[in-house]
Amino acid sequence: MSDAAMTGDAGGALLEVSDLVKHFPIKSGLLFDREVDQVRAVDGISFSVRKGETLGLVGESGSGKSTACRAVLQLLKPTSGSVKFEGREIAGLGRRELRPLRREMQMIFQDPYASLNPRKRVGQIVGDQLKIQKVASGKELRTRVEGLLDRVGLSPEHYNRFPHEFSGGQRQRIGIARALALEPKLVFCDEPVSALDVSIQAQIVNLLDDLQDEMGLTYVFVAHDIGVVRHISDRIAVMNRGKIVETGDADQVCEHPRDAYTKKLLAAVPIADPRESAARRAERTAAG
Amino acid sequence: MSATPETAPASPGAGGGALLEVDGLRVGFATEDGRVQAVDGVDFRLEPGEVLAIVGESGSGKSVTAQTLIGLTRSPNSHIEGSVRLRGEELTALSESQLQKVRGTQIAMIFQDPMTSMNPVYTVGSQVIEAIRAHDTSAGKKEARARAVELLESVGIPDADRRVDAYPHEFSGGMRQRAMIAMGLALEPSVLIADEPTTALDVTIQAQILDLIQELNRSRGLATILITHDLGVVAEVADRVLVMYGGKVVERGTLDDIFYDPQHPYTWGLLGSLTRLDQPRPHRLPQISGAPPSLLHLPTGCAFRPRCPHEFGKCTEVPGLEARLPDDPNHRDRCWLTPEQKRKRREVEGRIGLEEPR
């Protein structure tokens, strides 16, 4: 969480998404596929992310938050709508035109077990894109990767190890090092802590906080746990059924939610205070 | 095996006729790299209608403890010591086929991942029916089916009469977990072991499942062991709590003991690392630094020592699980600090947590 004051004066939006739509066709037919219906995974969402801030995108599974991320990053081709990065339209750009932009926008994935290639060594996983983007090679590459490992709380000796030798939390650190290797401006964190133990979640959240301060990163933090989202975000957008139902300052949204769905989401988060949760449970059962 | 004292004593832990009694449970596994002591001396008692939470990180031994209760860790390379008594009957002495009868009829278990714990090629109903008929051979097909529908209804599956013929993939995650619970309850067990039952679910579904567990617990007197890493979940449903670390219980007490007067620094760390919606957000989450210890190379003395900012000379000796508060014999912990020191040191930024390491 960066200070609100810091984001306020930064001014211009780094990312501006307007009316973004991603529909998946449902096809049917024997010889010729006919489109019979659509899944409206992302159904016209708009938001902007200012430089240096963290925008939390919260919603349940199936709300479209991951699809939204992928459509913004052009990993999925949006059905319609506009995505502007530093004022430049990127929706509809071709692969080659997108390549330089990949350096600016990176992603951290949910499952630290599935998102690391088990046959590659840590050094390769983190360093490959430096090679591909021709940023560094040889000895310099190794020094940079070791520096990154150190920065995310691993040790440079981990360079030659394989992912299976690491715990979930450490793997997520590897994923973070990979995302930061090219010194991106914008990082999408897609449920980066939900597969981890609560105690390890706190470590990763704190690490993301520190890296944001050090490197001036901008985050879009996607999660279903509104408690974690509130902690790390400056602003929150709540998604439900492909639409953003509420946006606002993180504390504002959590303390004075306006939308019925946001209220429902907040009411379901367990409270680590037995007396309070007993009172709330009584309320919930009374309400049916 | 003979007389079974059914009556629940008024004071838990008083000994005698508890529903489930576990004493000195130790589970070790022989691995290529040496012996791993996954569970190292766990004792507890469980009464009807009670929810006992076992809390800890991955590798703390909480799941192995639960699995050992119903004999799931028996294997040539495991070594199990201690005693598990259900209504006085020693379960560790039972043969595999005798144990088979205990599973389901007396103790049921539900798992974390409702996606993989059902067979995708059979309907949900047929899997519930199979569970019923496997143990109750007198039940006819029709009768078993009617019971399956009833069970699915009782765990809140709408339109159960039709849903009984659906396949697991047609169920959402929350419904699948409900169906798993229905299956577990099919034979009216007296103990339910729930291993991370809500970890894979959305928060709104999690709340529903926790409500369901608590309701079953109240209405049927079902004794429940809840395994979780999330103290938020514990606060919602548990009566008593065991906190495990490195195979040992490091603190045990009532729900209020653990949340309002926690004695072990590890418990402080678990509480501190929660993001709380009911409190102003701290500048930084008080985290537990480092990683859980490898069970192959446990540190000497207190296992939490390398991660504990409050470590001092005495910590090289293993502290016993003792009552250290003069007025509360049932609240026990394994930490050498005095209650006075603990009270002072657990405050971080106005809430309970673990200090940054010095």
- The helix/strand/coil state of A220 is strand
Spatial separation of the C-alpha atoms in residues B168 and B175, rounded to whole Å: 9
- The residue that leads in pLDDT, A53 or B14, is A53
**pLDDT tens-digit series, residues A10-29:** 457 999 999 999 999 888 87
With an 8 Å Cβ cutoff, are B229 and A198 in contact? yes
How distant is the Cα of B42 from the closest Cα of chain A, in angstroms? 22
DSSP letter assigned to residue A192: S
Break chain A into its structural domains and give their ranges: 4-104+184-287, 118-182
**pLDDT tens-digit series, residues B269-283:** 999 999 888 888 888
Give contacts of B285 with chain A, Cβ < 8 Å: 202, 205-206, 231
pTM for the full predicted model: 0.87
**pLDDT tens-digit series, residues B329-342:** 999 999 999 999 99
Nearest residue of chain B to residue A154 (CA atoms):
B290
With an 8 Å Cβ cutoff, are A272 and B207 in contact? no
Residue among B319, B346, B341, B347 nearest B251 (CA): B319
**pLDDT tens-digit series, residues A148-174:** 999 999 998 899 999 998 988 899 999
**In the structure, what pLDDT confidence band is assigned to residue B53 with cuts at 50, 70 and 90?**
very high
Mean pLDDT of A224-240: 94
Mean pLDDT is lowest, of A3-17, A250-264, B114-128, B252-266, for: A3-17
**pLDDT tens-digit series, residues A197-220:** 888 899 999 999 999 999 999 999
With an 8 Å Cβ cutoff, are B288 and A277 in contact? no
**pLDDT tens-digit series, residues A44-70:** 999 999 999 999 999 988 899 989 999
How distant is the Cα of B146 from the closest Cα of chain A, in angstroms? 27
Residues of B engaging A, defined by a Cβ cutoff of 8 Å: 57-58, 173, 202-204, 206-207, 210-211, 214, 229-236, 255-256, 259, 269-278, 281, 283-289, 291-292
A256 near B CB under 8 A:
no
What b/e readout covers B310-341, taking b as 16+ CB neighbours within 10 angstroms? bbeeebeeebebeebbeeeeebbbbbbbeeee
With an 8 Å Cβ cutoff, are B274 and A274 in contact? no
**pLDDT tens-digit series, residues B198-218:** 887 888 888 888 988 888 888
Q: What is the C-alpha radius of gyration for chain B, rounded to an integer number of angstroms? A: 21
* Pick from A60, A197, A251: CB nearest B57: A197
Mean pLDDT of B290-296: 86
Contact yes or no for A180/A149 (Cβ under 8 A): no
Region of B329 on the Ramachandran plot (φ > 0 left; ψ -120 to 50 alpha; else beta)? alpha
- The residue that leads in pLDDT, B16 or B103, is B103
**Cα angle B240, B242, B248; round to 5:** 165
**pLDDT tens-digit series, residues B131-141:** 888 887 888 88
| CATH code for the domain defined by A4-104+184-287 | 3.40.50.300
State the ipTM, two decimals: 0.83
How distant is the Cα of B130 from the closest Cα of chain A, in angstroms? 31
The beta-strand segments (E) located in chain A are: 13-28, 34-50, 54-58, 80-85, 88-89, 105-108, 186-190, 218-223, 235-240, 243-249
Best residue of A198, A212, A255 to probe chain B, by most B CBs closer than 10 Å: A198
Contact yes or no for A19/A64 (Cβ under 8 A): no
* Percent of chain A whose pLDDT exceeds 70: 95
Spatial separation of the C-alpha atoms in residues A215 and A69, rounded to whole Å: 22
* Pick from B256, B273, B278: CB nearest A202: B273
Best residue of B202, B228, B275 to probe chain A, by most A CBs closer than 10 Å: B275
